[in-house]
Amino acid sequence: MVGTMHAWQAVERGHEVVQIEREAEARGASLRNFGQIWISGRAGGEELDTALRARELWERIGARVPGLGFRAIGSLTPVRNPRELAVAEAAVARPDAAARGYELVTAEEARAINPALRGTFEAALWCERDAAVEPRTAQPHLRDALRATGRYTFLPGREVREVVGTGAVRDDHGDVYRGDAVVLATGAWLSGLVRELVPDLPVRRVRLQMMQTAPLGEPLTTSVADADSFRYYPAYRSEALDALSAGQAQTPVAAAHKMQLLMVQRHDGGLTIGDTHEYEHPFAFDTVEDPYEHLTEVVESFLGRPLPRIRRRWAGVYAQCTDTTRVVHRQQVADGVWLVTGPGGRGMTCSPAIAETTANELGW
Ligand SMILES: Cc1cc2nc3c(=O)[nH]c(=O)nc-3n(C[C@H](O)[C@H](O)[C@H](O)COP(=O)(O)OP(=O)(O)OC[C@H]3O[C@@H](n4cnc5c(N)ncnc54)[C@H](O)[C@@H]3O)c2cc1C
């Protein structure tokens, strides 16, 4: 998506773009994610500003490309006890709470917003600005719109292997491409070409497990998170969070896999549910069951009903700046060649704004 959004920005500004993709169809983090355009947990300042700008761009692009499935659905994070409630209260007291559309709602109000939440909880943090897109189909739809301009070519099944001069790269078929600018948006593929260009890249890889259910049979009108998400997102840092961390341990499975619940409904009615975080290499090559059992329990407690059958399980890897306060790693790596990677768990959200910043900085 980072590459595709750079293509979008360049084509919008009147340029011609060739997008080169190693796989027959993109298979990276951008289609394995939740499709959450996630404002709620972003750190105040540059990160929040980038996410809010990106949300505006997603909405605008979504109006032109309906296949993106942009939905301004907001999110609810149910809280189950006074400690979790205190973190939500601290969040709505932030000076930037209004920009995020934060509001603390009662359980009854939460059910009026999202009637599927028939389970047990005390109150919920509502974030009006959160939105969603359909990650599995977003890129093909964007590419169709780009192709229609007559100034865009997608070349799948070709790996960029080498920088061979100013604004010039060679692929693994031996073909050379020259442009006014080359953007390497290689996601979490940090070996090979990227390692040769930047041996000490300050970016690490993070692996996540995900699942998707059969259709729920009713709308889930908002995204849903659990209070474990408070522990991972900078927006929730507060004395109340310190008290939560000190006084209420995560369940052992959630702690072991650094888990939170995030959940969003897909167009077919199924629920995309995650996630875990794995930082140590070598990454597991298989998916493990315990996290799925934990997530099923949490979701069932919020919905007050059994979860539909799980139909798909997968893992994904994203690239994250080792200084996690940085929105992205953007670096000129050769004459006319820039590397843009490392947006971390917010890369889907921020990709349109990241591409816009590159375009502005490079004077496209
Ligand atoms: C499970 C999971 C859930 C997530 N949920 C969210 C979320 O809900 N919201 C959010 O904002 N972010 C989320 N993220 C993060 C987000 O998905 C990523 O930050 C983002 O998709 C990164 O986009 P990218 O284009 O940089 O990488 P990718 O989508 O991985 O794309 C990189 C592409 O480059 C290609 N490539 C690599 N090297 C070469 C080469 N040499 N030549 C040609 N092609 C090459 C790859 O084949 C790939 O298609 C999630 C990530 C994961 C893994």
Helical (H) or strand (E) element with 134: none
The closest-lying atom of ligand 1 relative to the alpha carbon of residue 27 is 49
Give the pLDDT confidence score for residue 363 in this predicted structure. Answer: 97
Extract the tokens encoding 355: 């591409």
How many whole angstroms separate alpha carbon 26 and alpha carbon 156?
Answer: 8
Residue 5 Cβ contacting ligand 1 at under 6 Å: no
Interval 23-60: pLDDT, tens: 999 999 999 999 999 999 999 999 999 999 999 999 99
How many whole angstroms separate alpha carbon 55 and alpha carbon 203?
Answer: 25
Angle between the N-to-C axes of helices 347-361 and 46-64, in degrees from 0 to 180, rounded to the nearest 10 = 90
How many whole angstroms separate alpha carbon 142 and alpha carbon 122?
Answer: 41
Residue 135 Cβ contacting ligand 1 at under 6 Å: no
Helical (H) or strand (E) element with 72: none
Give the pLDDT confidence score for residue 353 in this predicted structure. Answer: 98
In angstroms, what is the span from residue 343 Cα to ligand 1's centroid?
A: 9
Beta strands in the chain (DSSP E): 17-21, 36-37, 75-79, 102-106, 123-127, 131-132, 152-156, 160-165, 168-171, 176-178, 182-184, 203-213, 223-225, 262-265, 271-274, 310-321, 329-334, 337-341
Give the pLDDT confidence score for residue 10 in this predicted structure. Answer: 98
Give the pLDDT confidence score for residue 179 in this predicted structure. Answer: 97
Give the pLDDT confidence score for residue 67 in this predicted structure. Answer: 95
**Coil, helix or strand for 245?**
helix
In angstroms, what is the span from residue 170 Cα to ligand 1's centroid?
A: 22
Give the pLDDT confidence score for residue 58 in this predicted structure. Answer: 98
Give the pLDDT confidence score for residue 78 in this predicted structure. Answer: 98
Pick from 78, 3, 100, 17: nearest CA to 364: 17
Interval 298-355: pLDDT, tens: 999 999 999 999 999 999 999 999 999 999 999 999 999 999 999 999 999 999 999 9
Extract the tokens encoding 304: 């007050």
Mean pLDDT (whole number) for 129-134: 98
Residue 142 Cβ contacting ligand 1 at under 6 Å: no
Pick from 199, 189, 196, 205: nearest CA to 20: 189
Extract the tokens encoding 167: 């604004």
Q: Which residue from 50, 186, 265, 275 has its CB within 8 A of the most atoms of ligand 1, so it is best to mutate?
A: 186
Pick from 212, 348, 347: nearest CA to 267: 212
**Cβ–Cβ under 8 Å, residues 245 and 94:** no
In angstroms, what is the span from residue 29 Cα to ligand 1's centroid?
A: 3
Query: By alpha-carbon position, which residue is closest to atom 15 of ligand 1?
Result: 345
R_g (Cα) of the chain, nearest Å: 21
The closest-lying atom of ligand 1 relative to the alpha carbon of residue 314 is 1
Mean pLDDT (whole number) for 53-80: 98
Average pLDDT, the chain: 98
Query: By alpha-carbon position, which residue is closest to atom 48 of ligand 1?
Result: 28
Query: By alpha-carbon position, which residue is closest to atom 22 of ligand 1?
Result: 347
Pick from 80, 122, 121, 123: nearest CA to 103: 123
Residue pointed to by tokens 């700046």: 321
Interval 175-187: pLDDT, tens: 999 999 999 999 9
Mean pLDDT (whole number) for 118-134: 98
The closest-lying atom of ligand 1 relative to the alpha carbon of residue 171 is 42
Interval 143-182: pLDDT, tens: 999 999 999 999 999 999 999 999 999 999 999 999 999 9
**Coil, helix or strand for 54?**
helix
In angstroms, what is the span from residue 246 Cα to ligand 1's centroid?
A: 34
**Coil, helix or strand for 153?**
strand
Interval 194-239: pLDDT, tens: 999 999 999 999 999 999 999 999 999 999 999 999 999 999 999 9
How many whole angstroms separate alpha carbon 99 and alpha carbon 138?
Answer: 26
Query: By alpha-carbon position, which residue is closest to atom 13 of ligand 1?
Result: 345
Interval 250-303: pLDDT, tens: 999 999 999 999 999 999 999 999 999 999 999 999 999 999 999 999 999 999
Give the pLDDT confidence score for residue 341 in this predicted structure. Answer: 98
**Coil, helix or strand for 123?**
strand
Residue pointed to by tokens 């080169």: 20
Question: Cβ atoms within 10 A of the Cβ of 219, count?
Answer: 12
